[in-house]
């Protein structure tokens, strides 16, 4: 549908109605994420995101291909207005605190 087009704004509806071809196996707050995917020839959109919703971030994205591949950088500034959700200590489930302790260390 959008093949060869670069001036398209993909709305929330696009992401709700199109399944991701691949995604990170773990979604943790790390400075570096490394994944290897074997994809058939085609056009793909890579959407980096921050760990926390509604937060801005700078990304360095490197894509390696075993075969010749064309790529296009779309470095447009994206603006969004989101209501920030206030979370208190009581809102955090004990199981999440335990998992956080295991990953981050006590």
71 exposed, middle or buried (CB, 10 Å; 0-12, 13-18, 19+)? Answer: exposed
105 by DSSP, 3-state: which? coil
b (16+ CB within 10 A) / e for 7-40: eeeeeeeeeeeeeeeeeeeeeeeeeeeeeeeeee
Residue 31 pLDDT exceeds 70? yes
pLDDT of 53 reads 80
The answer to whether residue 15 sits within a structural domain is yes
The answer to whether residue 68 sits within a structural domain is yes
* Structural domain count of the chain: 1
Which residue would you say has higher pLDDT here, 93 or 30? 93
pLDDT of 12 reads 85
List the one residue out of 54, 56, 44 whose CA is nearest residue 84. Answer: 54
Domain containing 31 equals 1-79
Average pLDDT estimate for 22-30: 76
Tens of pLDDT, residues 8-23: 778 888 888 988 888 8
The answer to whether residue 96 sits within a structural domain is no
- The pTM score is 0.52
Please name the residues in contact with 71: beta carbons below 8 A apart, sequence gap of 6 or more: 63
Question: Residue 7 — very low, low, confident or very high, per pLDDT cuts 50/70/90?
Answer: confident
The answer to whether residue 57 sits within a structural domain is yes
The answer to whether residue 103 sits within a structural domain is no
pLDDT of 106 reads 58
77 by DSSP, 3-state: which? coil
Tens of pLDDT, residues 45-90: 888 888 888 788 887 778 888 788 888 777 777 676 767 788 888 8
């Amino acid at each position: 549908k959008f093949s060869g087009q670069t001036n398209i704004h993909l709305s929330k509806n696009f992401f709700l109605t199109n399944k991701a071809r691949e995604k990170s196996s773990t979604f943790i707050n790390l400075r570096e994420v490394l994944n290897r995917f074997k994809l058939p020839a085609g056009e793909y959109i890579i959407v980096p995101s921050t760990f926390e919703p509604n937060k801005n971030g700078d990304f360095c994205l490197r894509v390696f291909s075993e075969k010749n591949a064309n790529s296009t950088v779309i470095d447009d500034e994206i603006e969004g207005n989101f209501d920030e959700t206030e979370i208190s200590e009581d809102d955090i489930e004990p199981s999440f605190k335990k998992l956080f302790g295991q990953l981050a260390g006590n």
